[in-house]
Structure 1
Amino acid sequence: MYKIAGIDLGNDSIKLVLDGAQDALVIPNIVSTGYDRHILQEEDSPLKALDVVVYSPALSQNNKRWFVGTLATELEDSLELEETDNKALSDQSLIVALTALAYQGLVSQSYAGGGLSPMDEVEYVLGTGLPVRTFARFHEAFEKRLTGEHEVTFMSTPQLRGRRVKVRVTRTVCSIEGAAAVFNLATHDNLQVRDDEIYSGCIGVCEIGALTTDLPVIRRMGIDNHFSYGEQLGIATYLDSIIRDVEDVYGYSFPTRAKLVQRVKNRDFVIQRIGEGQASIQGIVDQYFSRAAQRIVELIRKRWKKCPDIQCYYVIGGGAAALKSYILEAAGTMRLRFVSESELQNVRGYLKVAKSRVTQASHAG
């Protein structure tokens, strides 16, 4: 039996949600080359130590060992995506995505049958998405890369050590980031209309990611080709500047953006300086986030002027959660809408798009 899932290959994290499940699986989109670990005490959760060997026809390097997600965030040689990376073609994003699909497949079988079968198998129909600017040129290639048979072997991962998983993706449906989020906001889980204003209206979206900001315009649940737009600008540029400044001023270095993002989410701005007590980095964060918010608000204002039919603007994505207070301040009287669980709106939308395609296909068949 296949599972229907939505997967968002975000530049900062990969998010996965299964049909019928409430919680999303979130894994930082970070990898580093794996090796035999010297383990003093086993981690208390498999997600803290994703150590895998991955095979896929779409990868340029196969059967290589990788530390994925949280395990990689601590390492100096870890890799985070850069602005020049295209997630539709990125090996790194595919490695993290396949690890997530394999892990979720095992967890939903609740680790059962470990010693008996030489290989576990999970089958998926996937909904996913790409930014406005890459969608037209790359969505077919992206669907092709994900579809097919892949294999993930867990190495030193606690509770999953030695498990081999065949991940079979029978179909991939790719939509546009931001547009999927609007579909999620407009519909119930059974795909019935929940909010007619969104479903039938002309809605502007500003979806702030790590490396891109997408501004699709959605009319009656269809993408407006003329006014939809994307910028190669995300929150990562500002995070990198904060990391650099903190290092220059305080000599404290964050190994990865993910570590800084964790701090910002928890509003924990106090760092420990070696032998010199504590310092607050809030001033540096405020400075860069205010600049980011100013830029975002300008983009929205320009778009809204160009397309005055837009009834309301939703600001979503991981960047929206981090920048919300700064954006509201910069927006002044311009009314913008924010939603809870901002960074999960797209992935929940991708799941619904996949579900609606499966339903259509079964009716057609």
Structure 2
Amino acid sequence: MFIRKGEPGPTIRAVDVGFGRVKALSEDRQLEFPSVVSSFRPVRYSTGINQADPVERLCCEYAGRKYFIGDIVFKQADAMVTMNAERFTRPEGLALMFSALALLSGADSETLNLATGLPVSDFAGKKDVYRQALLGRHYIKLVNPDGSGERVFNLHVADCRILPQPMGTVFDRVLNDAGELVNKRLAAGNVGVLDIGQNTVDLVRVDGLEFVDGQSDSFSDLGLFDAYGLLYREIKDIYNVEIPPARMEKYLQNNFIEVDGYRQNIAGIKQRVFAAHAERIVSRALNLWRDAWQLNSIIVTGGGAAILGDYISRQLNRPGQVELVDRDRATLSNANGYLKLARRVWQR
């Protein structure tokens, strides 16, 4: 796209569409919401008392179909569709992406450069198709839950960079906010990234900032939801109550569930299940990284790092190597890296 001298270029956006949550960043805003969609039907009544964040009541029309998006799905939908590898380029997956971009947009019409990612196992086969699906002009309409208040966004993706998702964490560690290389020791090193998502665990090995393809992979049976599924079965066997994995997280914060009016402590069950699940993750990682002793650093990141990171660190038992991304940064680490790389590519 030709830009006259002195005219502002496209705005920069970074979006990480995970199987569990969508994370999106602009220069001055960040947001996240669950990666779930469902067919829309107008909500017939609202009290008007609860002034929810727009992210929590997100509804859109994209490519001729209306959707509930994110948190509102759990309250209003009869059925929901979660993200998987096939949905990145389908209308429901693109609705997640462009809903996030619309919420970040400061204007109804915007030209932008976009940095995003794909799971390691899907990167080679889907990156070109995904890029073509994202490039160009997209119209998305945000509506209120009752179907009123339509606002149409005209979003033009002028350029797009797609990365294997855990590479975002690498760039987050080696670049500063301006996209300048500042952590030269890590950039020159031999690094493993263990990215724990809701549905998958992605493993990436990087040597001198070169992606080591043969020692990078995704595993769809090791994510945080799998650990929640194991916990669900344990709780059901002991207390005969069902807590779906998608709703498990709030019960883990205080280690209690209430059954028939009595509080039951589930801390011991949680520790046993999570330790066993961490052992499975570490076993898979060390099987892929047979010479893990040569790694200068093993970075544990992703939304699941806050829950499973300490268990994984103990299982690895490599205190000189393991680096846990801070709990308040782990979920957004990949998206932060996308944004830093975007600044390096498009603003320098």
Q: Which residue is equivalent to 1:197? A: 185
Q: Which secondary structure does the structure 2 equivalent of 1:37 belong to?
A: coil
What is the CA-CA distance between 1:312 and the residue it aligns to? 1.4
| RMSD of aligned Cα (Å) | 2.5
Q: Which residue is equivalent to 1:39? A: 45
Residues 141-192 of structure 1, C-alpha deviations (whole Å, 9 max, x = no match): 111122222222222259x922111222122110112122111111111122
Residues 17-66 of structure 1, C-alpha deviations (whole Å, 9 max, x = no match): 11x32x521011112221110233234121221122222xxxxxxx2221
Whole-Å Cα distance in 2 between the matches of residues 151 and 41 of structure 1? 31
Structure 1 length-normalised TM: 0.83
**Partner amino acid for 1:93?**
G
Structure 2 residue corresponding to 1:310, chosen from 295, 318, 322 = 295
What is the CA-CA distance between 1:90 and the residue it aligns to? 4.6
Q: Which secondary structure does the structure 2 equivalent of 1:101 belong to?
A: helix
Matches within 5 A, 1:164-243: 164-233=152-221, 234-243=223-232
CA contact (8 A) 1:139 1:174 kept: yes
Whole-Å Cα distance in 2 between the matches of residues 250 and 68 of structure 1? 33
Q: Which residue is equivalent to 2:32? A: 26
Whole-Å Cα distance in 1 between the matches of residues 245 and 92 of structure 2? 15
Q: Which residue is equivalent to 2:265? A: 280
Q: Which secondary structure does the structure 2 equivalent of 1:318 belong to?
A: coil
What is the CA-CA distance between 1:218 and the residue it aligns to? 1.0
What is the CA-CA distance between 1:311 and the residue it aligns to? 1.2
Whole-Å Cα distance in 2 between the matches of residues 184 and 11 of structure 1? 21
Q: Which residue is equivalent to 1:11? A: 19
CA contact (8 A) 1:270 1:278 kept: yes
Structure 2 residue corresponding to 1:154, chosen from 128, 137, 142 = 142
Q: Which secondary structure does the structure 2 equivalent of 1:164 belong to?
A: strand
1:101 matches 2:107:
no
Segments of structure 2 that go 5 or more residues without pairing to the other structure are 1-8
Percent identity, please.
23
Whole-Å Cα distance in 2 between the matches of residues 282 and 89 of structure 1? 40
Whole-Å Cα distance in 2 between the matches of residues 240 and 313 of structure 1? 27
Q: Which residue is equivalent to 2:322? A: 336
Distance 1:290 1:78, change over 3 A: farther
CA contact (8 A) 1:128 1:347 kept: yes
Residues 50-94 of structure 1, C-alpha deviations (whole Å, 9 max, x = no match): 122222xxxxxxx22211111112346342536x64353354332
**Partner amino acid for 1:104?**
L
Structure 1 residue corresponding to 2:279, chosen from 283, 287, 294 = 294
Structure 2 length-normalised TM: 0.86
What is the CA-CA distance between 1:282 and the residue it aligns to? 3.1
What is the CA-CA distance between 1:303 and the residue it aligns to? 3.7
Whole-Å Cα distance in 1 between the matches of residues 241 and 42 of structure 2? 29
Distance 1:204 1:255, change over 3 A: closer
Distance 1:152 1:252, change over 3 A: farther
Higher deviation after alignment, 214-223 or 333-342: 333-342
Whole-Å Cα distance in 2 between the matches of residues 256 and 235 of structure 1? 9
